[in-house]
């Protein structure tokens, strides 16, 4: 799967523009474009999120994953996880995810909530996660798809002109 090129100044300017837009307008446009992205891009041909990111596992995630593997949560934690003080939670001990096999999760029914929700686009208040979206442009083709089309979306008109006038 082809990855997007590096983040540009244009991306940061669009983020600044969006910060001045109504949350409901952004959420509606992103939700619409994300539904398109789901149809256009098959995650099972990518797996970049599993190679590049470290999801935060809650105690419920650990319990579910360990039980699904037939392990005690303590053993699962010591074997696969490490405490990340910055994230204030457990993350995989190393990248890529130890359960990534052929671009798919080998324990899909037990995957953590953070993984199941990625790329976190079809939830309210997307505007609060714009920096995360930009930081993940090069990782997730679905995010790149949505972001590119969001810049062209009718709800945001000629945003580049507005940014130029502002700056």
Q: Give the 3-state secondary structure of residue 24.
A: helix
Per-residue model confidence (pLDDT) at position 119: 95
Quick check: 7 pLDDT over 90?
Answer: no
Contact 76, 145 (CB under 8 A): no
pLDDT at 3 over 70: no
* Section 39-49 average pLDDT: 92
Q: Which two tokens stand for residue 100?
A: 């990534």
What pLDDT score does 162 carry?
Answer: 75
Cα–Cα dist 54/70, whole Å: 23
Tell me: pLDDT of 2 over 80.
no
Say what the pLDDT of residue 160 is: 78
pLDDT in tens, 120-165: 998 899 999 999 999 999 999 999 999 999 999 988 888 877 777 7
Q: Kindly report the CA angle at 62 between 124 and 108, in degrees rounded to 5?
A: 70
Query: Tens digits of per-residue pLDDT, 53-70?
Result: 999 999 999 999 999 999
Contact yes or no for 4/41 (Cβ under 8 A): no
CA-wise closest residue to 139 among 53, 56, 55: 53
Which residue has tokens 């992103």?
Answer: 30
Whether this model's pTM surpasses 0.85: yes
- For range 38-48, the mean pLDDT: 92
pLDDT score of 1: 53
């Amino acid at each position: 799967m082809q990855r997007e090129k590096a983040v540009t100044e244009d991306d940061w300017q669009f983020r600044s523009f969006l910060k001045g837009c109504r949350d409901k307008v952004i959420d509606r446009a992103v939700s619409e474009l994300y539904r398109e992205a789901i149809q256009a891009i098959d995650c099972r041909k990518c797996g970049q999120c599993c190679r590049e990111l470290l999801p935060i596992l809650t105690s419920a995630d650990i319990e579910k994953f360990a039980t699904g593997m037939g392990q005690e949560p303590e053993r699962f934690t010591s074997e696969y996880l490490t405490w990340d003080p910055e994230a204030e939670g457990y993350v995989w001990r190393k990248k890529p995810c130890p359960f990534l096999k052929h671009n798919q999760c080998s324990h899909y029914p037990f995957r953590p909530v953070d993984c199941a929700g990625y790329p976190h686009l079809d939830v309210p208040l997307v505007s609060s996660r714009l920096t995360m979206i930009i930081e993940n442009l090069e990782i997730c083709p679905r995010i790149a798809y949505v972001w590119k089309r969001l810049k062209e979306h009718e709800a945001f008109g000629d945003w580049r002109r507005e940014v130029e006038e502002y700056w």
